[in-house]
Structure 1
Amino acid sequence: MELKSLVDQPNKLPTVPKVVQQLIESFNSEDISATEIAHLIASDPALSAKLLRLANSAYFHVSRTVGTVDDALRMLGFVMVRNLVLGNGMVAAFKNTKGMELQQFWRYSLYTACTARWLAHQGGDNGDAAFTLGMMHGIGQLQLHAVAAAEVALLDKQLNVLDAGRAELENEKLGFHFADVSAELAKIWNFPEALSGVLKDIPAPLAATPFDRMAGWVHLGAWRARAEVWDQSDEDQTASYPAAVAKRLGVDAGWALASAKDHADKAMPPLKELTAGLDAMLE
């Protein structure tokens, strides 16, 4: 199997809602205005309603009710609004994918995105970009299951799709891994290279030259998300913690490990609290 064969024909690609595609194109536009974005989103009543529901969730702690798309753009910022619409669009685009536990997969993706955003903010980096990458990093897995179901079904019997070693197994058996597919999809959808180029490095950020901090944040986010959706024990979390990546980023283990209780002041809020209300994106 070749990587290009997974994405080289229009009928092999998921259908992205028109508004989402237009918002993706805005990544590459320096002069698009908030008014234009508001009009795009407002043209889809169902999407507008979903956005307002998300904007008023506990996640954002807004000081007053967000009543319009314009309000959402002002209070949450253009990039975060685009992230919410993008996440909602990705869920819709892959809603019929067979062979995967989609609810678990998207919850894992959301947890990855929110953790990566929190960590990047703490580290002085662009948290909203980390959120985008966190939501997008695993979509190649969905594309693999949609287009090469028989091949990946054999891999699924060996290792869960969310396992930290899954990319290595796919590379060994297929010659590429799911994050390579995610990057190819991002290119086709006209994401900027600054984002699409990072996606392929997320499973093994320390192997990339140069090291990209965004890939590192999402890698840590994926570890934390995996621990949550699998309800891992403290011992298993400690054993699987990507300490080398954390060290490269200058992150103290106290942000997530129960074994580092003496650093509780640096701990991330519980994921259910950190993502409160955003699960509406997955519906």
Structure 2
Amino acid sequence: MELKSLVDQPGKLPTVPKVVQQLIASFNSEDVSSADIARQIAADPALSAKLLRLANSAFFHVSRTVGTVDDALRMLGFVMVRNLVLGNGMVAAFKNTKGMDLPQFWRYNLYTAVAARWLAMHAGDHGQDNGDAVFTVGMMHGIGQLQLHVVAAAEVAPLDKQVNVLDAARADKEKERWGFHYADVSAELAKIWNFPDALASALRDIPDPMATGKLDRAAAWVLLGAWIARVEVLKLDDDAARACYPAQVAKKLGVDPAWTPLLVKHAADKADLAMPALKELSAGLDAMLE
């Protein structure tokens, strides 16, 4: 199996809703019009209803009811509205993927995205780290795994029996077997869909954010988010969780281990560093997975 063979024909690519295609195009547009995007979203009643449900969820703590798509853009910002629509579009595009526990997979992706965003915002460098952009990478980071299962189910099935698709060792096992891993597939899809180069690079680097010799910060935050999401979704015990913690990457980011009780015994003066529970952190956003 070769990497290019997974994405080399239009028929092998998932069908992405038109409004999602337009939002993807906005990544590379310097003169994107929020009003145009609002009209495009508003033209889809089902999508508009879901966006407003998400915008009014506990996740955003909005001070008043978000009643229109325009309100959502004003109150949440264009990037986060785009994230919500993209996430919903990706779930829809891969809804018929066989051989995977899709509810578990998408919950893991959502948990990864919200955890990575929280970490970037609370432990990151405000000059370098954009929490909403990190959320985008988090929600997109697993699409390569889905593409593998759609296009190459027979080749992937034997590995699935050995290693869970969410296991921390999965990327290495794939690399050993095929010479590439799911993150490379994610990056190829991002390039085909004309996502920015920086986003495609971050997707590729998530299994090893220091692979190029320079830390990819977005990939690094998502790797940390994926770790805590994996612990939660796979219900890892404390020893297994600590064993797969990406400590070197966390140290490079300068993250105090007090962000999760699994790693330290919390001192009273560090309680404010702890990340909220993932269910609390993602409250309301699970509507995106429906």
Equivalent of 1:253 in 257, 261, 277: 257
CA–CA separation in structure 2 for the residues paired with 1:192 and 1:221? 22
1:30 corresponds to 2:30: yes
**C-alpha contact (below 8 Å) 1:97/1:142 kept by paired residues:** yes
Which of 137, 155, 158 is the aligned partner of 2:159? 155
1:220 — aligned with what? Answer: 224
Report whether the alignment pairs 1:198 with 2:202. yes
Q: Map 1:103-114 onto structure 2 (within 5 A).
A: 103-114=103-114
Q: Which amino acid aligns with 1:109?
A: N
Aligned residue for 2:168? 164
User: Could you give the per-residue CA deviations for residues 28-70 of structure 1, whole angstroms, max 9, x where no partner exists?
Assistant: 0011121111011111111000000000000000000000000
Matches of 1:40 and 1:154 in 2, distance apart?
Answer: 43
Structure 2 unmatched ranges of 5 or more: none
CA contact (8 A) 1:52 1:68 kept: yes
CA RMSD in angstroms comes to 0.9
In structure 2, how many angstroms separate the alpha carbons of the residues matched to 1:61 and 1:233?
Answer: 32
Deviation by residue 1:125-170 (Cα, 9 ceiling, x = unmatched): 1001100000001100000000000110011011000011101110
Name the counterpart of 1:175: 179
Q: 1:272 maps to which residue? A: 279
TM-score, normalised to structure 2, is: 0.96
Any idea what SS the aligned residue of 1:46 has? Answer: helix
* Matching residue of 2:214: 210
Q: In the aligned structure 1, how far is the partner of 2:91 from the partner of 2:244? A: 28
Q: Kindly provide the amino acid, as one letter, of the partner of residue 181 in structure 1.
A: V
Q: Percent identity?
A: 75
1:135 corresponds to 2:135: no
Aligned residue for 1:7? 7
Q: Which runs of 5 or more residues in structure 1 are unaligned?
A: none
Distance 1:159 1:47 in 2: 36
**CA distance in 1: counterparts of 2:164 and 2:235, whole angstroms:** 15
1:265 is displaced (CA, Å) by 2.1
Mapped contact 1:238–1:257 kept (Cα < 8 A): no
User: What is the match of residue 69 of structure 2?
Assistant: 69
CA distance in 2, matches of 1:153, 1:75: 44
Q: What's the CA shift for 1:111?
A: 0.3
Distance 2:244 2:108 in 1: 16
Question: What is the alpha-carbon distance in structure 2 between the residues aligned to residue 15 and residue 203 of structure 1?
Answer: 27
Q: Which digits, 9 at most, give the CA deviation of each residue in 1:101-134, with x for residues without a partner?
A: 0000000000000001001112121001100000
Shift of 1:259: 4.1
**Letter of the structure 2 residue corresponding to residue 105 of structure 1:** F
Q: Which amino acid aligns with 2:186?
A: S
Q: Name the structure 1 match of 2:56.
A: 56
Alignment partner, residue 20 of structure 1: 20
Match of 1:186 in 2: 190
Structure 2: how far apart are the matches of 1:191 and 1:259?
Answer: 35
Which amino acid in 2 is paired with 1:257? P
**Alignment deviations for residues 69-104 of structure 1 (CA, whole Å, 9 cap, x no partner):** 000000000000000000000000000000000000
Name the CA distance, whole Å, in 1 between partners of 2:231 and 2:31: 41
- 1:209 CA displacement: 2.8
